[in-house]
Structure 1
Amino acid sequence: MAPKTRIKDIARELNIAPATVSRALSSSGLVAEPKLSLIRQKAAEMNYRPNVQARSLRTQRSMSILVAVRDIGNPFYLEVFKGVEAVAREQGYSALMVNTDGKAEREQNCFEMLHDGHADGMILMTGNLPDKKEINTRNIVVALEGIDSEEISQVLIDNAAAVRQAVDHLVGLGHSRIAHIRGPVGEGMSEKRDKGFRAALAAHDIPLREDYQQRGDYNFEAAKVATDTLLDLPEPPTAIFASNDEMAIGVLSTAQERGLRIPQDLSVVGLDDIYLSRAVFPALTTVSQPRADIGQCAMTTLLAQLNGDALCGQQLFPTHLVERATTGAPSNSNMKQEKET
């Protein structure tokens, strides 16, 4: 086995001080470009791996980061975690995804792990915080599911704008009977998307029908139940927007079980652009958010805060519509029914 590359080996190759190499590889912020990139590139070429145990003893850090999610079974989080883990690994940290299952006691356990030193920081994707007096805002970054606070760094999308992109697309195809399957009532991201949907309809002068608003709780099975309710209406919608892709796939499943043609009889739009949105048939039209970029930004922000940088406030990432095969103009029979109403 080849001997392990050490910091002084990299320093010798570049003819610079070992202390400079150490500062560059620890993301101290004390080494500027282009030297920073030069050192990191050489470290990669020489297969340098940080000694986490030694660094932990030296810095009094665990070199671990928690990534708290609501449902570890939701594939949406995987791409975000890939972005987190890529940055963490580069900086000698390990990232651990923790499933809270939407339960307050599990979320509290994560904060207790931080307090007890089992992890140095946390990327929180559940949208919930305990009493702010009990937390250190410097070792937390909120991602995806925002909270009402200016004291914590947050990496988000504009949820209202994302929903508007979906509704604009459907209206542009000629739909006006548009239903919404939303997330849990009372949760921040879900409420923002619901308000965004209502505002988008209003912008097109389309009256809101309360019977077209159904709760799906961000999961497949609940969305199937909601879809049955919508399709059993005397005047069913010609299009359904689901507030995440997992629910949109539930809509497709139920519609096809009932013999509906997609998109001729029903158009469907999701939000997230998870990999399954390309694998289902027909492929799902959805609003895409840059999950890996969000994960990378959240981890980079957290590391900067752990190294003493100021909190960054809110950072918003753009979204865009990905038009695939589940949306089209209403069929002639649907158009006729719309005109009669």
Structure 2
Amino acid sequence: MVTVYDVAQACGLSIASVSRALNGQPGVSQATAERIARIAGELGYQPNEVARSLVAGSTQTIALLVPDITNPFFPELVKGVQSVADENDLLLLLVDAPKDADELRPRLAALQRKQVDGILLVASALDGRTEELFGDVPAVLLDRGRSGRHATVRVDQEAAGYAATRHLLDAGHTRIGHLAGPEVLEVSQDRRAGWARALTEAGLPVEDRLVLAGDFEEEGGHRAGAQLLDRNPDLTAVFAANDLSAIGLLALCAERGIDVPRELSVVGLDGIELARYTTPALTTVAQPIRELGEAACRSLLALISGGGPVADVTLPTRLVAGASVHVVNRDAAVAVGVPR
């Protein structure tokens, strides 16, 4: 490997002069700096990034921790983070994030030993322990409420759950079940709260029997969906807390010969690309997934630069109408724009 010493020998200059030139420091004329750069390039010299990081106090590395990279939601989020990292010449580490804080602790400790410049963490059950877990490393939380000094980037999950349920109510449904996410997660709690608020505003009872918790995966949606429908055979609609759960429910309906949407209307939440290709195409409340990643990375860079407190960011969602909702009264058809 070509070193600074080799470049200095080839240039007939001191190591100190060559080092200053290669690091853009003063003390070397422009003509000399250009000659050093040319000879270094001819020799195939590559700067020692580890040494540079020790001098600068920065590794130019950030970490993104996500709970399930197999979920189609997260690759799109990673793309958003990666695009901003690339713009700023940062290396992005992708790490699996256990939902339990005690399991998460050793991975965060390892990242601190690696001296990453900052950490992005997607929703986990941290029980308000972020100060203890992150230490002095700048961190931004995604899909969580603020915790201590750590900024958040999120959508209003309660409002998203409300919008999904309101869409079903506007279509004339009055028996609407909820296929929830893991009970320990804040996003699951918020989406359920949105479902409950919409029912309450419509003067409908909010019953525990109308809710079954899945695991945000297709299999969990299939399993919990079966229990939900068996417990409530009179349901005409279900709001699934994420698209994968809704897809599991659609598979269950196909197995049981339940016509979606004529016999059961289904609305998901997330807006993953796969939702466009289900049968029928899934109606969903879409999160701006890539934009969430971009905004989170920008917030983290602001924290790393030490420019002062970073404001929390809340991005909007939007309803994407597919073909999985049936209008059960003519008056509602105008309100929601869903074909009968």
Relative to the length of structure 2, the TM-score reads: 0.78
Q: 1:158 to 1:234 in 2, by over 3 A?
A: closer
Stretches of 4+ aligned residues off by more than 4 angstroms: none
Hey, what's the Cα distance between the residues in 1 that align with 2:67 and 2:100? 8
Q: Work out whether residues 285 and 323 of structure 1, in 8 Å CA contact, stay in contact via their aligned partners in 2.
A: yes
Partner in structure 2 of residue 83 of structure 1: 80
Q: Work out whether residues 175 and 330 of structure 1, in 8 Å CA contact, stay in contact via their aligned partners in 2.
A: yes
- Match for 1:239: what amino acid? A
2:95 match: secondary structure:
strand
Q: Work out whether residues 151 and 313 of structure 1, in 8 Å CA contact, stay in contact via their aligned partners in 2.
A: no
Residues 204-213 or 111-120, more deviating: 111-120
Residues 134-143 or 268-277, more deviating: 134-143
Aligned ranges for residues 130-169 of structure 1 at < 5 Å? 130=129, 132-133=131-132, 135-136=134-135, 139-144=138-143, 146-169=144-167
Partner in structure 2 of residue 70 of structure 1: 67
Residues 118-127 or 315-324, more deviating: 118-127
1:247 match: secondary structure:
helix
Partner in structure 2 of residue 202 of structure 1: 200
Partner in structure 1 of residue 53 of structure 2: 56
Hey, what's the Cα distance between the residues in 1 that align with 2:293 and 2:62? 13
Hey, what's the Cα distance between the residues in 2 that align with 1:306 and 1:69? 20
Hey, what's the Cα distance between the residues in 2 that align with 1:138 and 1:116? 11
2:220 match: secondary structure:
helix
Q: Does 1:225 align with 2:223?
A: yes
Aligned ranges for residues 246-265 of structure 1 at < 5 Å? 246-265=244-263
- Match for 1:266: what amino acid? L
Instruction: Report how many aligned residue pairs link the two structures.
Output: 284
Aligned ranges for residues 100-115 of structure 1 at < 5 Å? 100-115=97-112
* Runs (5+) with no aligned partner, structure 2: 1-20, 25-45, 331-340
Find the structure with the greater CA-based Rg: 2
Hey, what's the Cα distance between the residues in 1 that align with 2:93 and 2:235? 42
Q: Work out whether residues 85 and 297 of structure 2, in 8 Å CA contact, stay in contact via their aligned partners in 1.
A: yes
Hey, what's the Cα distance between the residues in 2 that align with 1:266 and 1:331? 14
% of aligned pairs identical? 35
The alpha-carbon deviation at position 108 of structure 1 amounts to 1.0
Q: 1:93 to 1:232 in 2, by over 3 A?
A: same
Hey, what's the Cα distance between the residues in 1 that align with 2:232 and 2:146? 40
Q: Work out whether residues 155 and 294 of structure 1, in 8 Å CA contact, stay in contact via their aligned partners in 2.
A: yes
The alpha-carbon deviation at position 150 of structure 1 amounts to 4.4
The alpha-carbon deviation at position 134 of structure 1 amounts to 5.1
Relative to the length of structure 1, the TM-score reads: 0.77
Q: Work out whether residues 181 and 214 of structure 1, in 8 Å CA contact, stay in contact via their aligned partners in 2.
A: yes
2:231 match: secondary structure:
coil
The alpha-carbon deviation at position 184 of structure 1 amounts to 1.2
Hey, what's the Cα distance between the residues in 2 that align with 1:121 and 1:314? 17
Hey, what's the Cα distance between the residues in 2 that align with 1:233 and 1:251? 15
Residues 98-107 or 290-299, more deviating: 98-107
Q: Work out whether residues 77 and 293 of structure 2, in 8 Å CA contact, stay in contact via their aligned partners in 1.
A: yes
- Match for 1:119: what amino acid? V
Partner in structure 2 of residue 274 of structure 1: 272
